[in-house]
Every structure is written in structure tokens, then in C-alpha cells.
Amino acid sequence: MTAKLGYSLKGRHFISVRDFLPEELRQTLYVAQSLRSRLLMGDRPNIMEGKTLGMIFQKPSLRTVVSFQIAMNQMGGNALYLGPDQISIGKRETTEDIATVLSGYVDGIMARVFGHNVVEDLSKYSRVPVINGLSDFEHPCQALGDMLTVLERKGTLAGLKMTYVGDGNNVANSLAFIAARLGLHISIASPKGFEAKSKVLETAAADAKEFSTGSHIEQLNDPIKAVKDADIIYTDVWASMGQEAEREERKRIFKDYMVTSKMLDAAKSTVMLLHCLPAHYGEEIAEGLSKDARSAIFPQAENRLHAQKGLLALLLS
């Protein structure tokens, strides 16, 4: 891919996919690919030497915590895990005081929070870049890693059709925003009442128009109709973190939305399966399907590391 270099992302926040222009998203993917190639050749540039990333977690994580920690380590820097019981945002002290104090110690902050307003507030009061490591509204780092995976496997992004089957949640929102900016078409199939918010769909469609990417953004209820001609099928859990009490009820409501081998058969023969993980097999994804030849789910998880290295390199170094 080609990327115009020269856009300065240093010091910027990444709270939403929409914080970056299409060229800036492409530049981040380009730097990620370059760092990944260098890593394969044993070349680990120490561009984070002397730098520390503060990582705030209000929710559990495997991929986000480990991939950010390793990203900083591979580039010669450090990361500091601050768990839910340690700083208790808004309970022990205010978000403003946490951001003000922490940004005096660290060079960047990554936060996984419940309310999107919390990560927005952190960025408002922080003197260093703040990265959204998942909120109830977006998961922009996941979307970056996902696009890196698609790019590696398909060689292109613009013009591909991505179908997201399941809950119109934080992951779906970031995918709609990134698709609109990078020229993928996105079709979201969800049960009635669980669609992506119309504000999200309208915003993504307006972005596609503003940047003339040609992306078509649609929300359907019928998953089989939505996967027709899909290059990518994507799914995520039916009950997100914080919605555990709704899990049983959602299992009933979403039962026709499990991604199965048959559903993959209804898409293009070259279809690629993605899932941000963690997966609930036998719910949103059939048992064994993550190991299907059409699945890129585990390389997708690895790509969180490479995508975030690109992001950290541009924001912090």
C-alpha cells in the first residue's frame, strides 16, 4: 500500500477511529507493517527508549493488556498496569485529577473503561496522548488491527464488503467508522432492537461522503442477506463486558445470528472470518469455526500488537 508520509500524529489522542483522517489511519497501518517486517528480520528499533505507557483498566483483558505491554517492551519502553482496584476512576478520585497527575509521570495513557465519557475526559485533562483501549462506544485499536489483517490477507481495503453479524456494539461502531474512512462497504446484521445506533450509521455514511471513499453503510436484520457477496464476515460476543446479566436473554434473542460454516458458504468463496475475541463458542460463533481454513481470527489477535506499535510510534515518539 502507499501512504503519504509527513502527517504528524505526535501528541495526538486516539479515542475514536474518527480522530484520525483517512490518510492518518493509512499512515498508522503503513508504520505497523514496516515495524512488523523489521521485527521478522530481528530488527527492533528502540524508539520508545525511556518512555512509559500508563495502562488503566476498568474491565478485564487478555489481548489489550498484553499487546500494549509487549508493544512498548519491543520498542525499548515500559508499560505500567493500573487495574480496577488500584485507581478506581471516579470513586477514589476524579478523572480530571487522575489524568492531571498521571500525565506528569508517563508519556502516554491507554485506558479501557465502561463509559466513553471517561476516556474522553481523560484526554481532556491529560498532557500526554490518550488511547482508547475499549469503551462502551468504541474499540478503535481493535479496528486498526482488523484493517491490518484484512490488508495483509486481501492486499487491499477499498471496495471490499465486510459483514458484521451480531450486536450493534462498540466493535461494530468502530468498524463502521473505519470502513467509511478506508472505503470498505459494511453491512451490519443484528436482531431488532440490537442494531447499531442510527446516529452511528448516519455519521459513518456522512464520513464516507465527506472523504469520497464510496463506502456503502447498511444495517439489516437478515444475516443471510447481509453475508451475500461478503469478503469478510466478522462477529463479536452477544453480551459485552458489563452486560453479563443479559447474557441468557441475549442468547435467546440472537440464536439465529450464530456464524456457522453454512453462513460462510453463503458469502464469497474467498471469504475471511474475523472475531475480535474473546469468543463464546456455540453462541456467536460455531464450535471449531475459529480453526476453519477461512478464519484469520488468531492472526487478527496477533495484529493488535503490530497495529498498536504503529500507533504508539506515531503518537509517542
Residues near ligand CP (CB under 6 A) are: 61-64, 134, 142, 276-278
Closer to ligand NVA by Cβ: residue 24 or 146: 146
Closer to ligand CP by Cβ: residue 62 or 101: 62
Closer to ligand NVA by Cβ: residue 1 or 62: 62
We find the least distance from the C-beta atom of residue 59 to ligand CP, in angstroms, to be 7
Partner touching 169 among ligand NVA, ligand CP, none, CB below 5 to 8 Å by kind: ligand NVA
Partner touching 132 among ligand CP, ligand NVA, none, CB below 5 to 8 Å by kind: none
| 3-state DSSP assignment of residue 252 | helix
CB atoms near residue 32 (< 10 Å): 26
We find the least distance from the C-beta atom of residue 3 to ligand NVA, in angstroms, to be 27
> Nearest CA to 271 among 255, 292, 302?
292
Closer to ligand CP by Cβ: residue 59 or 268: 59
Report the distance separating Cα 152 and Cα 307, nearest Å: 12
Strands (DSSP E) contained in the chain are 52-57, 78-82, 108-112, 130-132, 161-165, 185-189, 217-220, 232-235, 272-275
We find the least distance from the C-beta atom of residue 284 to ligand NVA, in angstroms, to be 10
CB atoms near residue 104 (< 10 Å): 10
The helix-helix angle for 170-182 and 140-154 (nearest 10°) equals 50
Partner touching 62 among ligand CP, ligand NVA, none, CB below 5 to 8 Å by kind: ligand CP
Strand arrangement of the beta sheet that strand 161-165 belongs to: 217-220, 185-189, 161-165, 232-235, 272-275
Cell 459494511 locates to 186
Amino acid, single-letter form, for residue 236: D
Partner touching 104 among ligand CP, ligand NVA, none, CB below 5 to 8 Å by kind: none
Positions touching ligand NVA (CB under 6 A) are 134, 139, 169-171, 236-237, 240-241, 276
Strands (DSSP E) contained in 123-176 are 130-132, 161-165
We find the least distance from the C-beta atom of residue 210 to ligand NVA, in angstroms, to be 27
Partner touching 171 among ligand NVA, ligand CP, none, CB below 5 to 8 Å by kind: ligand NVA
Closer to ligand CP by Cβ: residue 61 or 69: 61
Amino acid, single-letter form, for residue 167: D
Backbone angles phi, psi at 117, to 5 degrees: -60, -25
Q: What residues act catalytically?
A: 112, 139, 142, 236, 276, 304
We find the least distance from the C-beta atom of residue 170 to ligand NVA, in angstroms, to be 5
We find the least distance from the C-beta atom of residue 269 to ligand NVA, in angstroms, to be 29
Closer to ligand NVA by Cβ: residue 117 or 317: 117
- The CA-atom distances, in angstroms, between 304 and each of 102, 126, 142 are 25, 24, 7
